Structures are given as C-alpha cells and as structure tokens.
C-alpha cells in the first residue's frame, strides 16, 4: 500500500545485522554477545514452544505425533522450523528476508538436517504441495494487515483437509504502547513530502501491527476450519492470540 512501511526491507536489515536478537529481543542474543552457550539457549526456546503448540493440537484436535509435511511461516533463523522438521517427513520454512534464510540454511547444514526447504513467499511454498501442520508465531504482528490478511489466506489454503493450524496474531496493546502522533496537519504533510523525496533513513526497525480477530476467524472458518481454540498471548503489553484450528475433511 502506498506510504506504508516496507517491513520486508526492515527484516532483511535485521537479519543481516542482529538476527537472533531480532527474533527474541533479549540482550543475551545480541550479535556481538552470542557464543555457543547462548546460541544453544536460543534454539532451545524453539523446542519448548513447538512442544507446547503440539501439545495443544493433540489435546484439542487429537493431532498425531508425526506429520508428513510441516510449514513454518516467518521461519527466521529456524528456531521453530528445526523442531517442526524433527516431527515431520519434510518441512518448509518461508521467510521474506534473504539474510534470515541464509542464517537458517547455515544452521540446518550444521545440524545435518536435509529434509527442509526454504522459500521466500507462500506462493513458492504452495508449489511444494499441501501441509499437515501450518505454523506461524510472532510473524504476522510485524506485517501490516493490509498485506497480512492476504498472506493468511494463502497459508490457510495450504493446509491439507484434516490438517492443523497454529497461527499467532496481535490484536491490541496496552495504553503506553499506543502511538501518540501529535503532529498537526501541516507537519504531517511536510513529513509525507520528505518521505516521498528521500528514501527511509531508519530501515531496520521492528514495528508492530494489530489485527482484527473477528476478521481472521471469519477467514479461517471460510477456509473450511470448523473448530478453533484460542490461547491469549502477551508480549510486553502487545496482546493477541495463538489460534489453533483443524481443517475439515469434507
């Protein structure tokens, strides 16, 4: 959309400069500070998260222990993709940032994992078949809904009949995180004029976007998912939900 922030450029810069910290903004994971111990601790968090998502899918939808194919949207450096790959015959990671994909590929090679493909977009992933489990965590919150809603539609279409979804979105935030743009109309006009003349000077920011939960749930239902389970999420005052669902077989 015109005038909208280019979050894809932000993530490519973040992946090149501070990939682990950009995924989990904990000072321990800053590029200059990482050693093999903190790297292990970082990747271990992914095993814990996937164990939890899987347990919820088992509890509410009777999900199996092993999947033929898993997909992780916004795979980053592979924190969730590796544990997903351990549970599946093949796995695919989507990430728009070439820098993130490069770091993820390096990690997969180090681990000797050869059942994973990395691609940039859902459209590319769709050429690799359908998936039994499509996951996305702490990703859509960084994509403007004007683009994110269509991406969610692409992801829902890639779930096999009877397959599972775990998809996190943010929906609202605490008052201190609401943007307080007090600029008057003239200042806003001048700002737009400046932005149209000069390329953005602050590429590499982490920005947050809230989604309309009803709109996302309606999309999920329309795509053939009959039942869902919601789990509230709260990351430092950014609130949302992990949406778990199973696609019907009809």
Ligand X SMILES: C[S@@+](CC[C@H](N)C(=O)[O-])C[C@H]1O[C@@H](n2cnc3c(N)ncnc32)[C@H](O)[C@@H]1O
**Residue with Cβ nearer ligand X (149 or 224):** 149
CA distances from 118 to 113, 125, 199 (A): 12, 8, 30
Say how far apart CA 78 and CA 219 lie, in whole Å.
Answer: 27
Q: Smallest distance, Å, CB 13 to ligand X?
A: 10
**Residue with Cβ nearer ligand X (109 or 206):** 206
**Residue with Cβ nearer ligand X (145 or 250):** 145
Q: Smallest distance, Å, CB 115 to ligand X?
A: 19
H-type alpha helices, 18-97: 19-23, 36-61, 81-86
List contacts with ligand X (CB under 6 A). 7-8, 11, 15, 23, 74-76, 79-80, 94-97, 100, 137-139, 142-143
**Residue with Cβ nearer ligand X (137 or 211):** 137
**Residue with Cβ nearer ligand X (16 or 130):** 16
Say how far apart CA 1 and CA 236 lie, in whole Å.
Answer: 28
* CA nearest to 229, candidates 212, 241, 213: 241
Q: Smallest distance, Å, CB 239 to ligand X?
A: 17
What is the number of alpha carbons within 13 Å of residue 14 lying toward its C-beta?
25
**Residue with Cβ nearer ligand X (157 or 190):** 157
Q: Smallest distance, Å, CB 199 to ligand X?
A: 19
**Residue with Cβ nearer ligand X (61 or 73):** 73
Say how far apart CA 55 and CA 45 lie, in whole Å.
Answer: 15
Q: Smallest distance, Å, CB 194 to ligand X?
A: 25
Distance of CA 24 to the CA centre of its chain: 12
Q: How many CB atoms lie within 10 A of CB 163?
A: 24
Q: What single string gives the DSSP state of each residue in 105-150?
A: HHHHHHHT--SEEEESSHHHHHTT--EEEEEE-SSGGGS-HHHHHH
Q: Smallest distance, Å, CB 137 to ligand X?
A: 5
Integer distance in angstroms from the first to the last C-alpha of the chain? 36
Say how far apart CA 130 and CA 112 lie, in whole Å.
Answer: 24
Q: Smallest distance, Å, CB 229 to ligand X?
A: 20
């Amino acid at each position: 959309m015109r005038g909208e922030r280019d979050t894809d450029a932000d993530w490519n810069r973040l992946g090149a400069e501070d990939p682990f910290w950009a995924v989990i903004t904990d000072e321990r994971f800053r590029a200059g500070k990482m050693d093999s111990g903190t790297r292990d601790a970082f990747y271990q968090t992914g095993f814990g998260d996937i164990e939890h998502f899987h347990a919820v899918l088992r509890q509410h939808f009777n999900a199996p222990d092993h999947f033929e194919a898993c997909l992780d949207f916004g795979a980053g450096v592979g924190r969730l993709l590796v544990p997903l790959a351990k549970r599946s015959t093949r796995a695919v990671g989507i990430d728009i940032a070439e820098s993130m994909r490069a770091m993820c590929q390096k990690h997969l090679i180090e681990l000797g994992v050869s059942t994973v493909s990395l691609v940039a977009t859902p459209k590319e992933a769709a050429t690799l078949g359908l998936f039994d489990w499509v996951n996305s965590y702490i990703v859509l919150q960084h994509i403007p809904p004007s683009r994110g809603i269509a991406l969610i539609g692409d992801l829902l279409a890639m779930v096999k009949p009877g397959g599972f979804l775990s998809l996190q979105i943010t929906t609202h935030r605490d008052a201190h995180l609401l943007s307080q743009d007090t600029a008057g109309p003239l200042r806003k006009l001048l700002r737009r004029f400046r932005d149209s003349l000069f390329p953005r000077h602050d590429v590499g920011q982490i920005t947050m976007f809230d989604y309309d939960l009803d709109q996302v749930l309606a999309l999920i239902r329309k795509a053939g998912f009959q039942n869902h389970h919601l789990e509230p999420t709260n990351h430092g005052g950014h609130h949302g939900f992990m949406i778990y669902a199973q696609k019907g077989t009809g």
